[in-house]
Structure 1
Amino acid sequence: MYHVTIIGGGIAGLATAFYLQKKSQEKDIPLSYSLIEKDTRFGGKISTTAVDDFIIEGGPDSFVTTKPWGNQLCRDLGLDQEVIPTNDEKRNIFVLNKGKLTLFPGGYRLTVPTEFIPFALSPLISPFGKLRMALDLFIPARKEEGDESLASFIRRRLGQEALDKIGGPMMAGIYVADPE
């Protein structure tokens, strides 16, 4: 009998355990596994808490459906009928800016604006911040070797304001991650 130890009980560890069990049964391979999680609960960044009459979702509440892996996992778990698609007419992103919600400009690919007009007219980034972002076109490539955090990359190429108002919120919203 094979024994596998899976480190981490987040979505990746739980999916690994699920597929190991599924494949070992399909191929009649004797297998046992241990799932080790440092926290007091499984789920990683994903959590659901009931408080009074409210349900509070922690961590990601969505996934990118253009990538096949999340869809396949939902199908394999029998959850595909539970997936609620986004409403394209109401698909907006808001960022808290100066104490109020500000509409995120359209035409972005993660942290990079791909359309000039929505970027130029957006109140999210100050005129100085927009000018600083435009300087990216003149900044030479990084010469140092080795890894660079996303925060360092955005700060170096686009400026601190772009990190605070675009990069940070995008990474938190998509990956539940700190760009540092």
Structure 2
Amino acid sequence: LMYVMSVPHSCRVIFPSLEAEVAGEASFEKQTMVFNCPLCKRRSCIICNREWDEDHIGKKCDEIQTDAEVAMRTRIESAMAEARIRECGSCKMRFTKQGGCNKMTCRCGAKMCYVCRQPIGKSIKNNGYAHYCQHPREPGRGCSKCQRCNLWSDADEDDKLAIKEAREATESAAAQENLGLYQSLKEKQHQEIGGDSAL
């Protein structure tokens, strides 16, 4: 009867009589915590009840991610990586900024704002600088008189903000699509780093 405790819950539900039958027939690999069900032939972990496969070997149950969890995590991480990259509206050249002002000129001649990613028209007046705030203020502070982009800003800070916004938007969409899976992934991420998660 010691095997009864190791019978995965799903097998007990599917085969209610399993508890009586399993005592003499079940195979239990104690060193690997694998239960071999004699009725359904399923190999499963007795702790987490997941099907036993290569992904589980050498890992704790909470370290294993399902394909859906991996896909969701990859989706969020891809969105975060893409947030740093800008794309020319004319030639589709992709680029990032290392320094300098936020008025970007592509090698094809098109101009765009690094902050809002909008194309800057070819107006003769102010050579396209009319897109940017012209009010005097302290460096790094927003303007209280207009909502225009700053001509100068820290590229790393701009990228961090874009990455944060992309992460939040992707997380929100992912949570709406599959809330349970998203919460599970978020909890695992939180446990991995012992606090705030990257998700």
TM-score by length of 1: 0.23
Q: Which has the larger radius of gyration?
A: 2
- Structure 1 or 2: larger strand share? 1
